[in-house]
Amino acid sequence: MTLRLRLLTLQLLLLAASASASQPLGSSSRLCKTVYISSREYRTHRNISRLHAELQASVDGCQYVHGDVIIQNIGADSVTEEPIDEAIRGLQTDFLDSIIEISGRLVIKRINLERISLRNLRAIRGYNLENTSPFFAMEVFQSKYPVKLELPQLSAILQGDVRIIGNLHADLYCYLSRRINWPSLFQSHSSRTPQQFNDNVEIMTLGDQQINVSDYAATEKVCTSLPACNSSCHTEKSGRQLCWSDSPGGCQSFHGCLVRPCRNCFRHPYTGNEECCESDCLGGCSNKSDGCFSCRDVSLDGVCKGNCPMKTDLNPGTNKIETRNSSTTMKRVGNICVKQCEMPFVTSSNDKYCVSECPLTEIPVNGICTRCAAKHQSACETCTVDTLIMSDKVAQALKNGNCTIWRTDSSLDINSEKLNSSASLETLEFLRIFYGRLFIKRTDRLVDNLRFLRNLKFVSNNFGIMMLHTRYLGLASLRYAKALWLIKISGLCEAWYPSRTIRQITEVTKEFTIGTREISFDNTSEVCRNAVCDPSAATSAGDPDPTCA
């Protein structure tokens, strides 16, 4: 083989590797809903390794987040902002490395870590899922401790603004306000007009997108000189280097064009010339044909397209709606085309989309949003729970509303130590579907079993039962939860342990996980010794519906 042929072969191999590394997400990618990262539970165990494992379980290898990524209150108290434990500062954030795209927001608030890195995050799409105003695709605020925030692969913020505000550490502020080329990230700007707003806020307007930052510069003591970048980082014509931090992995990604009049460019591997990326690409590319880092519209098996092939479509020749062959049709979840909707997503009633939740007039039936029949309308009564901890007042309101579907933006703790009446727990007998994270704790102070859970079918996120004594868990109807945590539960009858229910969930939900710790069984009481695996059985002790099914 000649030297020239060897060089050509090496170039082709490098080109192929580059294309593979930058290929957009596809149907086999790990998809999930909103991710919450917090050290909230750390106070109960004070174990760094366990905290890391808990946060890793929260992300769960997710690559495409159809929702928001909210990272807050890690190492700092949520109210006082004081340090929780200096040991947390050295916590590694490698559990965030799997995240490649965020459809909603990236929120970083009250962080006391040495470094927080999303090493592979390419795009923040900035979809306003809650229709709030004003809306920010990225927010960094109330982080007064020195922290290196590194997003080295971030190359696009599709829509929405960026807000950097509040009591920030000076180093973090200086890197974000002086070393990042925000216009190169924004994908919808048309003008650049820096202006001052009030005495403490600096706004850079870029058409529909803007940066809103606390103006430390007003003190004339902060950012008097540019913070350092690694020597490998991109340097602009002005001489300014671009970086998130001074670490080797802290450079800002740059895929802009220096010569050609295009949005993003790449260097041709043979000629070294600057070439334009295809218009379907979002944030840049590694080559002309199939090297987009992300897709502006949708990704079909890693190839950028205008839309997913739907079940029905307009034939422009006949001007009629025609049905496609089922083998070629796809559904859409966010910006990814998939063959079928995997939990925790459900299929929309028109069979076109994978959605996080069914509309208010529909409920999930076998993973498909189904409109409630008029005679069963009560099964669709939906209530929003605006509190993190259940109270007797909230329970009564849910009962009065005949609520069978409960929705919360984050989580709900149901702890009998915060309740005065067993009637508040009995409210859960109405519950069929829960959107959010649900935790049941210490109920044995008011009731001696979990019969009130017997109608619960669906928990969209993590479901925890912990710190209580009961003969059975009441999970006969449960068909989905992202994860089931059983912690410090005593007195269980082994015959009534819900092995079959757990097996059914595992078969339907590929990514389902179950975690148990300090579970003990009662092998001495007459009730447990006589227990049989029959969901319809009632024992002499009056324990109905044992959930071994």
Q: What is the mean pLDDT of each run of 10 residues along the chain (549 residues)?
A: 41 40 72 88 86 90 93 88 90 96 94 95 89 83 89 94 84 89 79 38 50 48 81 93 94 91 88 90 86 92 89 68 70 92 88 87 84 64 88 91 86 91 91 92 90 90 92 88 90 86 74 83 88 59 48
Question: What is the Cα–Cα distance from 273 to 268, expressed in whole angstroms?
Answer: 5
- Mean pLDDT for the chain? 82
352, 331 contact by CB (below 8 A): yes
Q: What backbone phi and psi angles, to 5 degrees, belong to 501? A: -60, -45
CATH topology of domain 22-219: 24 nucleotide stem-loop, u2 snrnp hairpin iv. U2 a'; Chain A (3.80.20)
Tell me the pairing of strands 115-117 and 148-150. Answer: parallel
End-to-end CA distance of the chain: 67
Calpha distance 119→70 (Å, rounded): 16
Q: Cis (ω within 30 of 0) for the bond into 194?
A: no
Burial of 225 (0-12, 13-18, 19+ CB in 10 A): exposed
Residues composing the chain: 549
pLDDT digits (tens, 9 = 90+) for 366-385: 889 988 765 455 567 888 89
Q: In this predicted structure, what is the pLDDT of residue 548?
A: 53
Q: How many CA atoms lie within 13 A of 18 on its CB side?
A: 19
pLDDT in tens, 329-339: 899 999 999 99
Q: How far is Cα 478 from Cα 460, in angstroms, rounded to an integer?
A: 11
pLDDT tens figures, 215-239: 444 434 567 778 899 999 999 989 9
Q: For the CA atoms of the chain, what is the radius of gyration?
A: 27
- Residue identified by tokens 């670490």 is 247
Q: Please state which CATH class domain 381-529 belongs to.
A: alpha beta
254 CB burial (10 A radius; 0-12, 13-18, 19+)? middle
* Separation between Cα atoms, residue 353 and residue 330, nearest integer Å: 9
Give the model's pLDDT for residue 103: 95
Kindly report the backbone phi and psi dihedral angles of residue 190, in degrees, each rounded to the nearest multiple of 5, phi listed first: -130, -15
Residue 151: predicted pLDDT = 97
pLDDT at position 189, please? 53
Sketch the domain layout of the chain as residue ranges.
22-219, 265-305, 312-375, 381-529
Give the pLDDT of residue 534.
63
302: left (phi over 0), alpha (psi -120 to 50) or beta: left
> Is-same-fold flag (22-219; 381-529)?
yes
Contact at 8 Å (CB) between 123 and 283?
Answer: yes
Question: Domain 312-375 has what CATH class?
Answer: mainly beta
What type of residue sits at position 188? Answer: S
